[in-house]
Every structure is written in C-alpha cells, then in structure tokens.
A and B are shown apart, each in its own frame.
Chain A
Amino acid sequence: GAVVSQHPSWVICKSGTSVKIECRSLDFQATTMFWYRQFPKQSLMLMATSNEGSKATYEQGVEKDKFLINHASLTLSTLTVTSAHPEDSSFYICSARELGDSGGPLYEQYFGPGTRLTVT
C-alpha cells in the first residue's frame, strides 16, 4: 500500500528558531499534499493544501509567512515553522493524494505518521 513518511517524528526547538518538517510519499507520486495540525485529543485542523510546483493554499486564519510550505517535487513537501513559539507546539500531520488517481473527489488520502513539535 501507499506509504507516507514524515521526518522528524519529533523535534524540540527553542523559541525564535525555525524548524522544517518533511513529508514524503515513498512509493507513489503525490499530486496534492495536505498539512494538518492536531492538538491533544482534538480533531485534525487543515492548515494548507499544496500542489506540486505551485503555491500552497492556506486555510483562513493560518499565517502563510509563519508556516511555509514547499511542494517542490511529486514525492516531497515541506512545512517550515518560522520563528517558532511555544503556542506552535503541536502534532503536525501530512497526507497525500496520489497522482493518476481517478481525479475525482473520492480519492484515497494517505496519512503520514505525524511529527510532534515542542517549542521551549
């Protein structure tokens, strides 16, 4: 089955620094990747949708200058949290949609294992 990996699985950084999270589709090409944020025992909140080679589309209320998303290839998307603060501490999950699927909205959404970010 299709596998999505995330790296790192957890990271601790100091307030004011930036941290990059990678999302890779290991055995398929991803036309679209979604980035979610999840607080403990809460739902997944969509942050942005990225398509390979184009700018990401951010959800309302998500600061695009703070959460930089790059989808440079069909197998890699990155989320960079710039000037991180303790309130950015959260669990970040990416998911990917396979290139060449039916093209309709009933696509399989493959999730990565998530990255736990702690900002001290």
Chain B
Amino acid sequence: AQTVTQSQPEMSVQEAETVTLSCTYDTSESDYYLFWYKQPPSRQMILVIRQEAYKQQNATENRFSVNFQKAAKSFSLKISDSQLGDAAMYFCAYRSVRTNAGKSTFGDGTTLTVKP
C-alpha cells in the first residue's frame, strides 16, 4: 500500500517570504499522480497543484510550485511571496493510476502559519 509522509507538522513563514513544505511517499508503481491540497480554517479542501508522475517538468500555479523528485519519491511544495491567506493546513496526496480504484491517500498534513 502506498504511504504519504509529511514530516513537518507545523511551519511558519513571514509574509512575502518563501516557504517549502515537504512530502515523501512510498510506492512501487511507476505511474501515479500527486496533489497538494489546502484546508483553511473554513475546513473546505482546495486543490492547490497537481503533478503527473510521467511528466518531468515541475508543475507551477502562480505562486505555488513543486519540486518533484521521482527517484527520491519526494514532492515538496514551494509557496513564494507568502500571503496571510495562505495560512492553512496543507495536505500532500497520492493517487494510483491503476490500483485502488483511483482513491487518494493523504499525508498527515502541515499547518502553515503566516506572520505579518
């Protein structure tokens, strides 16, 4: 079974600075998808960014980018120019292409605090 590990329970960043959230995963598959979700205090899950494992190019969405290291099974999220609204819990998720009926496995989350 796949596992997703987020080793940083909490992180903090100064407004306008850059922060990187870590995520590693364990899988024997070669094709899969990875996601970062944001869960603000409202508890509404929001998709931040996704990466297809067969793509070597790192995904980017505005201030959010990932560093996908397939061999190392690492998928970190970089948030540039942090804003107060970025404060939330962030979850890394793995989704198999072939097994588990397309279900997602979530990491334990990292709580990000943004300091003004």
Residues of A within 8 A of B (CB): 34, 41-44, 46, 49, 57, 91, 93, 95, 97, 104-109, 111, 113-114
Residues in B with CB closer than 8 Å to A114 are 43-44
Q: Are B103 and A46 in contact, with the CB atoms below 8 A?
A: yes
Nearest-CB residue, chain A, relative to B99: A105
The answer for the CA separation of A113 and B45 in the assembled complex, in Å, is: 7
Q: Are A49 and B108 in contact, with the CB atoms below 8 A?
A: no
The answer for the CA separation of A93 and B95 in the assembled complex, in Å, is: 18
Measured between C-beta atoms, what is the minimum distance from B73 to chain A in Å? 18
Q: What range describes how many residues of B lie at the interface?
A: 20 to 34
Measured between C-beta atoms, what is the minimum distance from B66 to chain A in Å? 16
**26 examples of A-B residue contacts, CB within 8 angstroms:** A41-B89, A41-B111, A42-B109, A43-B106, A43-B108, A44-B91, A49-B101, A57-B101, A91-B43, A95-B45, A104-B97, A105-B95, A105-B98, A105-B102, A106-B52, A106-B95, A107-B102, A108-B47, A109-B47, A109-B104, A111-B45, A111-B46, A113-B42, A113-B43, A113-B44, A114-B44
Most chain B CB inside 10 Å of its own CB: which residue of A105, A108, A111:
A105
In addition to A43-B109, A91-B43, A109-B104, 4 A-B residue pairs with Cβ atoms within 8 Å of each other are: A41-B111, A43-B106, A97-B102, A111-B44
Residues in B with CB closer than 8 Å to A44 are 45, 91, 106
Per-residue contact bits, chain B 23-56, to A (CB 8 Å; 1 contact, 0 not):
0000000000100000000111111001010000
In the complex, whether B67 has a CB less than 8 A from a CB of chain A is no
Residues in B with CB closer than 8 Å to A104 are 97
5 cross-chain pairs, A with B, having the tightest CB-CB distances, nearest first? A111-B45, A105-B102, A114-B43, A43-B106, A43-B108
Most chain B CB inside 10 Å of its own CB: which residue of A42, A44, A57, A107:
A44
